[in-house]
C-alpha cells in the first residue's frame, strides 16, 4: 500500500531526449509537489499543485512541464534533457498547501541520469 | 546567508549515545518545523512535526524549537545502528501557499 508512488525508479537517457516521470498518491491529499535533490543531497521545491491547479512554480527551466490530470496524480515531463538535469526527483503530497498539515509525504524518488 | 543552515556531518556516534542534530534559520516567517529521515536511495520520511516553541517528544525522539534564537534541534536517545541515515530539517511559512524549505541534511552514523 504505497502512499506516494513514482515511476520509473531509475531513468537513464541521452542528452536531448524527452522523458516523463509519473506520480500517484492514495492518501486523499489535495496538494502535490515535485522536488529535486541534487548530487549534494540538497532538496529543493520545483512545483506545487493544489486540486490540479499550479500554485507554485519556482525558478525552473520551461523544459520542465508538470501536469496534473486529477488531484491524485502529478506527472513531470522534461524536454530536451541536459546533463545538469541529472538528479533524484521526488514527488510528495500533503493535505493542504498552508498551515497545519503542510507536512509532506514523499515518494521513493526517480534517479535520472542524463548521459 | 542561506535560509536554513544545517551541518552536513557525517556525525559518528556509538550505539546508545544521545545524538543532537541542529538547524538554524534566518526567516522569521517560518512557523512550522519538521524533521525528516532519509535512508540511502530512499525518499524522506517524516519523523517529527512542531509548530510552537518548546519540546515535543515521540519515543526516543525529541524535537525542540527556539523561535527567539531561530534554532531547532532533534535529539535521539539510545541511538541504534538503524538510526544511521541523513536527517533533514524542514520548515514552512504560516500563511499563504507555502512549501517546505529544507536544510542540506546531516548524515548520522551509529556504530554497533
pLDDT tens for A32-51 read 999 999 888 888 989 888 88
More confident residue, B56 or B98: B56
Which residue of chain B comes nearest to A57, CA vs CA?
B99
Kindly report the backbone phi and psi dihedral angles of residue A78, in degrees, each rounded to the nearest multiple of 5, phi listed first: -125, 125
Cβ–Cβ contact A59 with B under 8 A: no
**A99 pLDDT above the threshold of 70:** no
Question: Among A60-64, A84-88, B29-33, B101-105, where is mean pLDDT lowest?
Answer: B29-33
Show the cell assigned to A26. 492514495
Average pLDDT, chain B: 91
Average pLDDT in chain A: 90
More confident residue, B85 or B8: B85
The answer to whether A90 contacts chain B (CB < 8 Å) is yes
So what's the pLDDT on residue A100? 52
**Residue B112 burial by CB count (10 A; 0-12/13-18/19+): exposed, middle or buried?**
exposed
For the record, the C-alpha cell of B94 comes out as: 504560516
Residue-wise pLDDT for B51-65, tens only, equals 878 899 999 999 999
Nearest CA of chain B to the CA of A53: how many Å? 12
Q: What is the mean pLDDT of residues B31-40?
A: 92
The verdict on a CB contact (< 8 Å) between A43 and B43 is no
Which of A21, A99, A108, A111 best tests the B interface by mutation, with the highest count of B CBs <10 A?
A99
Counting one residue from chain A and one from chain B, the pairs whose CB atoms sit within 8 A come to 66
Amino acid at each position: 500500500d504505497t502512499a506516494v508512488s513514482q515511476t520509473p525508479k531509475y531513468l537513464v537517457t541521452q542528452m536531448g531526449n524527452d522523458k516523463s516521470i509519473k506520480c500517484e498518491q492514495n492518501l486523499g491529499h489535495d496538494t502535490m509537489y515535485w522536488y529535486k535533490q541534487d548530487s549534494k543531497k540538497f532538496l529543493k521545491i520545483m512545483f506545487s499543485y493544489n486540486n490540479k491547479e499550479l500554485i507554485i512554480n519556482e525558478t525552473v527551466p520551461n523544459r520542465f512541464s508538470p501536469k496534473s490530470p486529477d488531484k491524485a496524480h502529478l506527472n513531470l515531463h522534461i524536454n530536451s534533457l541536459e546533463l545538469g538535469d541529472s538528479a533524484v526527483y521526488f514527488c510528495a503530497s500533503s493535505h493542504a498547501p498552508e498551515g497545519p498539515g503542510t507536512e509532506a509525504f514523499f515518494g521513493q524518488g526517480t534517479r535520472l541520469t542524463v548521459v | 546567508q542561506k535560509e536554513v543552515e544545517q551541518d552536513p556531518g557525517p556525525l559518528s556516534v556509538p550505539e546508545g549515545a544521545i545524538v543532537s542534530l541542529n538547524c538554524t534559520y534566518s526567516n522569521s516567517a517560518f512557523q512550522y518545523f519538521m524533521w525528516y529521515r532519509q535512508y540511502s536511495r530512499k525518499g524522506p520520511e517524516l519523523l517529527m512535526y512542531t509548530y510552537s516553541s518548546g519540546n515535543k517528544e515521540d519515543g526516543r525522539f525529541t524535537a525542540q524549537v527556539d523561535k527567539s534564537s531561530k534554532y531547532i534541534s532533534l535529539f535521539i536517545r539510545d541511538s541504534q545502528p538503524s538510526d544511521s541515515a541523513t536527517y533533514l530539517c524542514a520548515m514552512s511559512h504560516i500563511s499563504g501557499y507555502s512549501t517546505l524549505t529544507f536544510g542540506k541534511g546531516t548524515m548520522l552514523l551509529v556504530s554497533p
